Chains A and B, each alone.
Chain A
Amino acid sequence: MITTTNLTKKYADHLALNNLNLTVKPGEIYCLLGANGAGKTTTINLLLGFISASSGTASIGGIDVSKNALASKKLLAYIPENLMLYPSLTAVENLDYFSGIAGKKFSKLALEEFLENAGLQADAFHKRVEAFSKGMRQKVGIAIALAKDASALLLDEPTSGLDPKASNEFGLLLQKLKAKGIATLMATHDLFRAKEVATHIGIMKNGELIHQFVSDEISLADLEKVYLEAMTY
């Protein structure tokens, strides 16, 4: 569902991403681990079509992002590290607007249902999001993804800055999305959460994917060891 083939991004003389090949199938959660500048966010930005590739292809559902950005965006949802919403609008109003941008139209009841499925408390549905915590905003982000009925989900450090409880709730939500057959690519620093939610894990360094694992086939301790070694040398 999410595929990159020899995906490369160069900035002048800096190679941000080098020949990345990865595939995330429906119902899989692929976690990209790596230090800052490893190329995780560049990968996500290329898949979103925010930047163009120097070579190689990025595709969502078989649609080349660089050739048909709008069509590929219809299939995907994105939750950035710090999901920002319109502070003077309520959760329902934000969801309604972002869904509208994606060309979807829902009743108030349906919107509330999406928020409920995303784990937001009912008493927050009609409150302005200006006072929402990051965790609550991430839940609205998940609701936006649910409402979009996306088949691919791109997450850029979504648990960064969340308290353990919120982070755990977020992990459970991802499992729900996985069960729905959504292909998820998540960039993260959080080894523990990656091991917990991912079906596949990749480690990136200096724009290259240097290790790939099936999550069930590696223990957290081994993963940590490989990761630290990769980061050290």
Chain B
Amino acid sequence: MILKTFKKELKEITRDGRARIAFSIVLVLLGSSVWISAKRYQDTNKEYQQALSSERAMWDNQGEKNPHSAAHFGTYAFKPKYPLSLIDQGVDKYAGTSIFLEAHNRNEAQFSAAADQTGLARFGELTPDFVLLFMVPLLIILLAYNVFTKEREMGTLTLLKSQGLSRVKWFTGKWLALMVPILSLTLVVFILAGLVLSNLKGFGEFQWSALGVLFLVYAAYYVVFTNVVMFISSRARKSGTALVMSLSVWILACLAAPKAASNFAENEHPYPSRQEFLAMVAEDKKQGLDGHNPWSKEAKLLEQEVLKEYGVDSLHQLPFNFDAYRMQKGEEHEAEVYFKHYNYLKEQYKNQSKTYRSLAVISPFLPTRFMSMAIAHTDYNTHWDFADAAEEYRILTQKFLNDNFAENSKLGEWGYQADASLWQELPAFEYDPPELQQIVSDNRGNTAVLSFWLVGSFVLSLLSIKRI
């Protein structure tokens, strides 16, 4: 009976002009969005590779120069575009792609794609994640809203019941007839994306396993939607009512809930304004050593400590250039200040995420979105991770340059110029995003919420079966 119902439902779907048109539209949208994303992905990575090599070339070819001048000359940490961003662009567009690394300051990521676009970008873009998260559930609604109501309205249910209908098998057949086309459509797009990505050489490491996990996340999301819409159809008396109710669920789950959750989370754990943040950083910086100011109280204190430590009377007797040493100590103080304040921001972000996640019980969209972005390496966690790695590299760079300055010059020798080959000795910035295993482990909460939705939706299915 399951197979018979499955085949019969598929026949009805394929013969229904509306379903054919809707399927074609979603397929075309998905295909186009993958193509557009693949193109953008290639272009962005080409730019990334070019920027990376030209920036490094500029750094390497500075010539003879004072190391502290080189520190102010600075360099960039570029965030690569990861393969699965082709499926989910997440916050990449807004988070910025490169961080300028210089002495004394920790800078924010800049050159976001959103900043490069015109006002028309406010209308949104056609991306695979948009189609997968918003359009496919709509397709599910279109296919499933009348899955039971039509049987009642047409009168076929009476005849079916008189034939000795097994409700569980009948439900299963109908469920499979909805899930198989939806999951096949998604699978085709994922395989297509996988083939595109695996054939792009030199553009990051693509993992089929990550794509597989991403597919499972979306599959769970669609199962939840299908079960909910089938439940509505089993309870509603008329198809029109079922359609309106299903669309209301979609509006609440996909449009209203994420925005409401985001507002609530921001309200509960607000970020300081940029001005406040900079003022706090500046204030804390003032409380410590300024590497450029040898006359400050902190500088004099450091001087005494170092003289005492080395058992000498004068800074000239030190085996290194104290000016550079002080510069490094100043850097360390500034790094600590940045560490403290960025940690506060990170803490606020974590609290916001926690609040947001706890609100995920109101919509399966939220855990799906979080997990999708995390697996695609386009979430804020990855961005924070990248920004932290860039800051670590900036601190190392400053130490590398100050050490050279301190070890190869004398006190007051501001005219010291390091050898032109020094810059090449600085290792290039490398960033590895969290591994899939790590991401899965970090997203245990989201997995639990999505699983809760999955189990809950199957409970609704049982109620649907009873209701038939």
Interface residues of A (CB under 8 A from B): 48, 50, 70, 73-74, 76-78, 80, 82-89, 93, 96-98, 100-103, 141, 144, 148, 154
Contact = CB atoms under 8 A, between A and B. Distances in A.
A63 to B, nearest CB: 12
A204 B40 CA distance: 77
B16 to A, nearest CB: 7
Contacts of B5: 97, 100-101
B120 interface: no
25 contacts: A48-B161, A50-B158, A73-B161, A73-B162, A73-B164, A74-B164, A76-B162, A80-B159, A83-B159, A84-B154, A85-B156, A86-B12, A89-B8, A97-B5, A100-B1, A100-B5, A101-B4, A101-B160, A101-B163, A101-B164, A101-B170, A102-B163, A103-B1, A141-B159, A154-B162
Given A84-B155, A86-B156, A102 B164 contact: yes
A199 B1 CA distance: 37
A80 B155 contact: yes
A1 to B, nearest CB: 16
B165 interface: yes
Contact of A98 (B15, B16, B163, B170): B163
Contact of A88 (B12, B166, B170): B12
B161 A50 contact: yes
B432 to A, nearest CB: 54
A84 B8 CA distance: 16
Contacts of B159: 78, 80, 83-85, 98, 141, 144
B468 to A, nearest CB: 13
Contacts, number: 69
A225 B161 CA distance: 38
A78 B162 contact: yes
A70 B167 CA distance: 11
Nearest to A82: B155
SS class of chain A's interface: helix, strand, loop or mixed? mixed
Given A84-B155, A88-B16, A101 B1 contact: yes
A203 B340 CA distance: 92
Contacts of A80: 155, 158-159
Contacts of A101: 1, 4-5, 160, 163-165, 170
Nearest to B13: A88
Contacts of B300: none
Question: Max chain A CB contacts within 10 Å: which of B8, B164, B166, B170?
Answer: B164
B275 to A, nearest CB: 64
Contacts of B11: 88-89, 93
Contacts of A86: 8, 12, 154, 156
Contact of A73 (B8, B12, B156, B163): B163
A87 B161 CA distance: 18
Contacts of A144: 159, 163
Contacts of B4: 96-97, 100-101
Contacts of B170: 101
B16 A77 contact: no
Max chain B Cβ within 10 angstroms of own Cβ: one of A48, A77, A82, A102: A102
Given A74-B164, A80-B159, 13 more contacts: A73-B164, A78-B158, A80-B155, A80-B158, A84-B155, A84-B156, A86-B8, A88-B12, A89-B12, A100-B4, A102-B164, A148-B163, A154-B162
A97 B161 contact: no
Interface string B133-174: 000000000000000000000111011111111100010000
Nearest to B8: A97
A36 to B, nearest CB: 18
A103 B4 CA distance: 10
A101 B174 CA distance: 13
B295 to A, nearest CB: 90
A86 B7 CA distance: 13
Nearest to A50: B161
Contacts of B165: 101
A50 B158 CA distance: 9
Give the residue among A48, A93, A101, A148 with the most B Cβ atoms within 10 A: A101
B1 A93 contact: no
A191 B67 CA distance: 111
A184 B446 CA distance: 60
A165 to B, nearest CB: 24
A26 B56 CA distance: 96
Interface in B1-28: 1, 4-5, 8, 11-12, 15-16
B133 to A, nearest CB: 31
Contacts of B155: 80, 82-84
A153 to B, nearest CB: 11
A131 B148 CA distance: 23
A101 B170 CA distance: 8
A156 B162 CA distance: 13
Contacts of B156: 84-86
B7 to A, nearest CB: 8
